[in-house]
Amino acid sequence: MSSIAPDPAELAPAWFWLLGADLARHAQHDASRIVQLATVRADGRPANRSLVFRHFASRGRLVFTSDMRSGKASELADRPWAEACWYFPDARVQWRLLGRCELSADPADAEIEKLRGKLWAELPPSTRATFLWPAPGGLRSPRKDFRVEATDTPPETFQLLVLDPEQVERLDLREAPHRRQRWEFGQGGWMPREINP
């Protein structure tokens, strides 16, 4: 093997590249960045909402932004698991990514803390303002409370949600019979399997 060949152990898992390829193919659609994130509520019932996928972090982690005061933030503080579901209608491809999901309130992760500053800087002023609005979920506040000026430094309410997948599935509905691939992370690293759709 040539010395310039990368060490496979240092590469992100295979699903990471396939997901990146599916995303790249749909980059012209803004909607392709929208995923649904499922969590579990304090009372044991499921919760589900749409989020914008913002960035990849090392080891194929998925990064979203979240208001620290949101329902998902408190649900994840209690039970740090989520499954993201992505559907690309044109390609008829679905992705499911299940794993630990935590709010990046821990500034010890330098990579995530740096990304937090970068993502804040990239947000349009209208999105930044939402993190200074009255706390989400409460009874509607008067209009004047929404007139805020966003700062250049991210407020404490602005946090990253980091999903670290342990089980990933890709379902391709174009092929007949459908193709369903699953990757599971275990002691031996990522284990790929073909399973029945």
Q: Which of 20, 111, 122, 146 binds its own copies (CB under 8 A)?
A: 146
Q: Which is nearer to its own copies, 35 or 115 (CB)?
A: 35
Q: Which of 109, 134, 157, 184 binds its own copies (CB under 8 A)?
A: 134
Site string for its own copies, 85-104 (x = CB under 8 A): x-x-x----x-x-x------
Token output for 129:
């303002």
Token output for 138:
């409460």
Residues 6+ apart with CB under 8 A from 135: 69
**Minimum distance, C-beta of residue 47 to its own copies, in the bound complex (Å):** 6
d(CA 129, CA 132): 5
Residues 6+ apart with CB under 8 A from 61: 162, 163, 164, 165
d(CA 76, CA 163): 11
Q: Which is nearer to its own copies, 7 or 149 (CB)?
A: 149
36 binds its own copies (CB under 8 A): yes
- If binding means CB under 8 A, how many residues of this protein chain bind its own copies? 49
Task: Classify residue 176 by burial, with Cβ atoms within 10 Å: 0-12, 13-18, 19+.
Answer: exposed
Q: Which is nearer to its own copies, 24 or 34 (CB)?
A: 34
d(CA 94, CA 75): 25
CB 17 within 8 A of CB 6: no
- Name the phi and psi angles at 40, rounded to 5: -115, 130
| Of 11-19, 82-90, 102-110, 183-191: span binding its own copies (CB under 8 A) | 82-90
Q: Which of 140, 156, 174, 188 binds its own copies (CB under 8 A)?
A: 140
Site of interaction with its own copies (CB under 8 A): 29-31, 34, 36-40, 44-50, 79, 81-85, 87, 89, 94, 96, 98, 126, 130, 133-141, 143, 146, 176-178, 180, 193-197
